[in-house]
């Protein structure tokens, strides 16, 4: 596979966004979000998604100069209109607002309508974690998730993200779609020419498919957990909870009110998103130490296969991937 320098990917993405009218600072922020996805191994949400963002900017579905504004607020909450701006523009505004409220009131809960695809939900949760808060982020999406017993999709892949700081520089990051996988991972399988594992996708006939192209065209993903027999209804329930936060609360479109593969001319995706920051200092002293103890305890559990150690959610796997990416480049620059 050809390799491209990270800074070159960043420049390319930024300039593509700028070419559609996105201001430089916003293009830089959005490119950073996408680059982090590639660096941490989530190829479904990096450069792979650029074409999709550019298309939405060109058709006017996304407003390149869209600016979020507060519609209603209390000390701990805010309702925001994202102004149909880029996901990173809305995400930065809302999470920074949630952090400000958490600083002043212990918690900040911000719900936005009028947003666009904001990439990795974990990026936003981590923004709060890096400031010392528990961060959570949710977004609804398009009707790709097939509720248990249904033949048609209705809910989004609706990801859930939670991050928290632990002592000693450690942290936890849970960042997952409520579908078995994100649709971007099906696209990656198409590029790789590989079949889908069981429990990922349903064909148009209502049966499980292993063909990534059939799955992509069908636009039907199983909920997290797969079919009913393997507890897929729990993923359905998590996605439903996400929908309550993201669309019922914010007034954005529900996932089932939006086509998944295109936006109709003149229409905005009007995604709903929620950003939460919580100050752990408002609760029992020693949060960071106790969390660090949990993380270390899990990592030290005896593995079934000694070559595959138990990982703390997300952080370990992605840190490893980011380090490998960096090292590969440093070695290439040296040779
Ligand atoms: N914006 C959107 O509309 C949208 C929709 C869906 C997904 N996404 C994003 O796509 C990305 C990928 O989602 P996904 O559901 O495919 O994630 P995934 O299945 O790759 O990972 C899910 C979680 O499990 C953790 N994990 C994986 N292996 C582990 C192990 N062995 N031990 C412990 N933890 C482990 C990961 O670190 C992660 O926190 C996420 O960043 C998500 O936010 C975005």
Q: What's the pLDDT at 321?
A: 78
The answer as to whether 289 is a domain residue is: no
Phi, psi (rounded to 5 degrees) for 228: -60, -40
Cβ of 42 less than 6 Å from ligand 1: yes
Q: What's the pLDDT at 335?
A: 56
**Measured between alpha carbons, how far is 44 from 33 in angstroms, rounded to an integer?**
12
Those residues whose C-beta lies under 8 Å from the C-beta of residue 87, and which sit 6 or more positions away, are 30, 33, 115, 116, 117, 118, 119, 271
The answer as to whether 115 is a domain residue is: yes
Cβ of 176 less than 6 Å from ligand 1: yes
- State the Cα torsion 210-213-216-221 to the nearest 10°: 0
Q: Count of domains in the chain?
A: 1
The parts of the chain modelled with pLDDT lower than 50 are none
The answer as to whether 213 is a domain residue is: no
Instruction: Write the pLDDT tens digit of every residue in 274-312.
Output: 999 999 999 999 999 999 999 999 999 999 999 999 999
Contacts 24+ apart (CB under 8 A), 94-99: 94/68, 94/124, 94/273, 94/275, 95/124, 95/127, 95/128, 95/135, 95/137, 95/275, 95/277, 96/127, 97/70, 97/275, 98/128, 98/135, 98/275, 98/276, 98/277, 99/127, 99/128, 99/131, 99/133, 99/277
The answer as to whether 322 is a domain residue is: no
The answer as to whether 328 is a domain residue is: no
Cβ of 317 less than 6 Å from ligand 1: yes
Domain that holds residue 98: 6-180+221-282
Residue 79 belongs to a domain with what CATH number?
3.30.1370.60
Ligand 1 atom 25 nearest Cα: 314
Q: What's the pLDDT at 284?
A: 98
Q: What's the pLDDT at 43?
A: 85
Q: What's the pLDDT at 9?
A: 93
The answer as to whether 324 is a domain residue is: no
pTM given for the model = 0.94
- Of 82, 116, 182, 271, which is best to mutate to test ligand 1, by the most ligand atoms within 8 angstroms of its C-beta? 182
The answer as to whether 241 is a domain residue is: yes
Ligand 1 mean position, distance from CA 335 (Å): 34
Ligand 1 mean position, distance from CA 260 (Å): 20
The answer as to whether 102 is a domain residue is: yes
Q: What's the pLDDT at 180?
A: 97
Ligand 1 mean position, distance from CA 177 (Å): 6
């Amino acid at each position: 596979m050809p390799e491209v320098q990270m800074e070159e990917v960043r420049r390319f993405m930024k300039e593509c966004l700028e070419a559609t009218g996105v201001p430089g600072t916003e293009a830089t922020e959005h490119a950073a979000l996408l680059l982090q996805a590639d660096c941490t191994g989530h190829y479904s949400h990096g450069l792979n998604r650029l074409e999709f963002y550019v298309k939405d900017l060109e058709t006017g579905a996304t407003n390149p100069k869209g600016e979020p504004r507060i519609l209603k607020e209390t000390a701990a909450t805010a309702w925001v209109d994202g102004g149909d701006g880029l996901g990173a523009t809305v995400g930065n505004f809302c999470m920074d607002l949630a952090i400000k409220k958490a600083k002043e009131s212990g918690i900040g809960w911000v719900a936005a309508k009028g947003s666009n695809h904001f990439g990795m939900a974990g990026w936003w949760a981590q923004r709060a974690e890096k400031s010392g808060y528990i961060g959570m982020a949710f977004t609804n999406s398009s009707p790709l998730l097939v509720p248990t017993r249904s033949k048609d999709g209705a809910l989004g892949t609706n990801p859930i993200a939670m991050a928290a700081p632990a002592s000693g520089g450690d942290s936890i990051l849970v960042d997952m779609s409520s579908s078995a996988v994100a649709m971007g991972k099906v696209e990656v399988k198409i590029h790789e020419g590989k079949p889908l594992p069981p429990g990922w996708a349903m064909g148009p006939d209502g049966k499980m498919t292993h063909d990534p192209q059939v799955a992509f065209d069908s636009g039907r993903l199983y909920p997290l957990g797969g079919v009913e027999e393997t507890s897929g209804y729990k993923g359905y329930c998590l996605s439903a909870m996400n929908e309550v936060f993201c669309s019922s609360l914010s007034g954005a479109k529900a996932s089932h009110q939006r086509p998944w593969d295109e936006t109709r001319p003149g229409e905005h995706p009007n995604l709903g998103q929620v950003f939460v920051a919580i100050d752990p200092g408002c609760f029992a002293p020693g949060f960071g130490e106790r969390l660090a103890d949990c993380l270390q305890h899990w990592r030290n559990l005896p593995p079934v296969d000694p070559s595959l150690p138990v990982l703390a959610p997300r952080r370990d796997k992605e840190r490893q991937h980011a380090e490998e990416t960096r090292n590969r480049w440093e070695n290439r620059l040296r040779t």
